[in-house]
Structure 1
Amino acid sequence: MTALLALLASAFWGTADFGGGIVSRRMPVVLVMLTSQVVALVLLTAGLCLPGVHVHIGVYLVYGALAGFLNLFGVFAFYRAMTSGPMSLVAPIAACGTALPVAYGLLRGEHVSVVQGAGIAVAFVGIVLVSGPEFRSGFAGGRTILLALGAAAGFGSLYLFSGLGAPHGVYGTLLAEKLTGIVILLPFVIATGTLKGMEFKRSTVGLAVVVGLGDIGASASYDSAAHSGHLAMVSVLGSLYPVVTSLLARQVLHERLRTVQNIGVLAALGGVVLINV
């Protein structure tokens, strides 16, 4: 069940990223992100009315807040890196953030068999390859590399701190994460005047809401999987979303995957099989 939930998180995140990429062509990225956070918070707040759902005060809420903040930092660094350097170098570096929760999990003594360890390594390579690395795509300066590493650290921290908070309370971790995102994004949107002159089509807003539903579905699935405490395995299986996004782009938008990306898809799937042996 743990592996299934982590894979479900990848499916949700991959679908949300695909939808986010489409809707970002129609409205500013920061508004897409804010809409996603608001949708999630509304659903989580409504869920508090359900019997048996409660949030207790504890340090795990800090983990959730850190996950929300550092994820936004990662997204910001990722987009800044892509504006100053080739995407085919930035994306693979950012994908390496998965190594952070994996390393933490292994260092704290999580038991992983030799076959599962090989699966984690193969899946990790697959994640990087699906991101489409191409080392002849242009020069990347030191600033671009630092921003890409910052993105990796931000994304990896999301998996790490969500995983640390979830065993103490999945619901509270999710609430803290999404609330932190709104507290940061809303003042930014207001201060920068992003909403001025914006015309919102119903279809665009609807798609942004769907992206938000995918995001909260992914976060809930990942945190539920991380509740088991197997952070090394869960973080890798929950990081396979680039595979889903790439396959959706291929099927829906008829984009062609490069050879290295096809190899990455196969490696990621092979890694999943090994992890679950």
Structure 2
Amino acid sequence: MQFISILSGLAAALSWGAGDFAGGLASRRAAAVRVVLVSQLVGGAALVALGLLLRESRPAATDVLWGALAGLAGGLGLLLLYLSLARGKMGVAAPLTAVASGGIPLLVGLVVEGLPGAAQMGGFALALLAIWVISRPDEAGDFRPRDAVLPLLAGVGFGTFLAIIGRLGDGAGFVWPLVAARVASVAMLAVVVFVQGAGERGRGGAGEQASGGRWQVAGGRSESASSDAGRIEAASPHATGPADAERASEDAHSVLNTDLLTTDPLTTLFPFPLAALAGLGDTAGNAFFALSAATGRLDVAAVLGALYPAATVVLARAVLGERLSPRQSVGVGLALGAVILIAL
């Protein structure tokens, strides 16, 4: 069972990384929140189809409720991430959110299931270091303590989603609670889009553009992305971004209006295939993570799944021909070492 759990955790990382890669490309051609919404709807439809295919029995009301709470936690994490990216440095927000999102289910697993062997503990530490190294841009800028608050809270939201989904009882199945989570996160995103759209119409025009859209999904794990001179670089839980972001207004109204609904004027067609691939990758990642946690330890599933930035970086190298920076190469090497230690 441990072998299945490890393979499923790695499959979750690969699926999430591939979904982020597709979402990052899609967000270059359309507004990030719209890409997220379409991907979530496609992923939700895939989950429903999977549930019918597996003929999972009707879940208990408590399992559906927990799934919905997990989706709300992930959606809240997404909103907090948007705020942190708009108000602070992306180079600070991305790695802090990535480590926190993997650290929460890791801690829950350690508390509930006890400590694993020394090799696995070493693998956990090496994996968290790899996540930080891969996610951190080459130039992160100056760090201020207050810049860490929102990214950490966003990571707590994403990590709470993973911890709840990973701790659902074996008899609950995993598809229908994930459907409930998806419905809750999509509803939250739809409200954000509606409020932003109403604000845009009320002002009679688009708001001031930020320095790039972010693509990020949680719990619905919404993904975000931005590009820097055409580069895709792994960042936060499902995020790619430039080395440094322009500082947005401290006014909350301005922050919630940072180019999330503005499309590229040169783009006339919505990139539905890429958005659909992003949603399918996110859905597959959630399903593999739930399977990994159900067949093994939650902390192992959390740490292996959190290595998704490495998959995004490798895909950017294989598909787009982007060269890995020395930092990224070190991070991928650390990730491979972590997998070996965890598998021992």
Q: TM-score, normalised by structure 1?
A: 0.90
- Match for 1:158: what amino acid? F
1:266 corresponds to 2:333:
yes
Q: Which runs of 5+ in 2 are unaligned?
A: 198-260
Aligned to 2:288: 221
**Is residue 35 from structure 1 mapped to residue 102 from structure 2 by the alignment?**
no
Q: CA RMSD in A?
A: 2.4
Which of 129, 134, 140 lines up with 2:133 in the alignment? 129
Cross-structure match for 1:80: 83
**SS at 1:260 equivalent:** helix
- Distance of aligned partners of 1:13 and 1:114 in 2 relative to their CA distance in 1, 3 Å threshold: same
Q: Deviations over 1:140-184 (max 9, x none)?
A: 445432111112212211221111226332112211111111221
- Residue 89 of structure 1 is aligned with which of 77, 88, 92? 92
Instruction: Answer whether contact 2:51 2:176 (CA < 8 A) is retained.
Output: no
1:53 matched to which residue of 2?
A: 56
Structure 2: how far apart are the matches of 1:143 and 1:38?
35
Structure 1 unaligned spans of 5+: none
Partner of 1:190: 194
Give matches, 1:129-148, under 5 Å: 129-132=133-136, 137-148=140-151
Give 2:189's aligned amino acid: L
Q: For the Cα contact (< 8 Å) 1:110–1:232, is it kept in 2?
A: no
For residues 264 and 237 of structure 1, what CA distance do their matches in structure 2 show?
14
CA distance in 2: counterparts of 1:117 and 1:158, whole angstroms:
23
What amino acid does structure 1 have at the position aligned with 2:278? V
Counterpart Cα distance in 2 of 1:151 and 1:4 = 27
- Aligned mates of 1:161, 1:51 — CA distance in 2: 22
CA positional deviation for 1:196? 10
Greater mean alpha carbon deviation, residues 157-166 or residues 193-202: 193-202
Q: Counterpart amino acid of 1:139? A: D
1:170 aligns with 2:174: yes
TM-score using structure 2 length: 0.73
1:47 CA drift (Å): 3.8
In structure 1, C-alpha distance between the alignment counterparts of 2:316 and 2:28, rounded to whole Å: 15
Give the C-alpha shift of residue 84 in structure 1: 2.6
Offset at 1:247?
Answer: 1.5
Deviations 1:212-236 (A, max 9, x none): 1111111111111111351111100
Q: Are 2:84 and 1:16 aligned?
A: no
Shift in CA distance, 173/192, structure 1 to aligned 2, threshold 3 Å: same
Distance 2:50 2:73 in 1: 25
Alignment match of 1:68 (pick from 51, 66, 71) = 71
SS in 1 for 2:141: coil
User: Which has a greater percent of helix?
Assistant: 1
Partner of 1:201: 269
Change beyond 3 A, Cα 1:191–1:14: same
Which secondary structure state, in structure 2, belongs to the residue aligned with residue 221 of structure 1?
A: helix
Q: 2:91·2:141 contact (CA, 8 Å) conserved in 1? A: no
> Is residue 104 from structure 1 mapped to residue 108 from structure 2 by the alignment?
yes
* Higher mean displacement: 36-45 or 192-201: 192-201
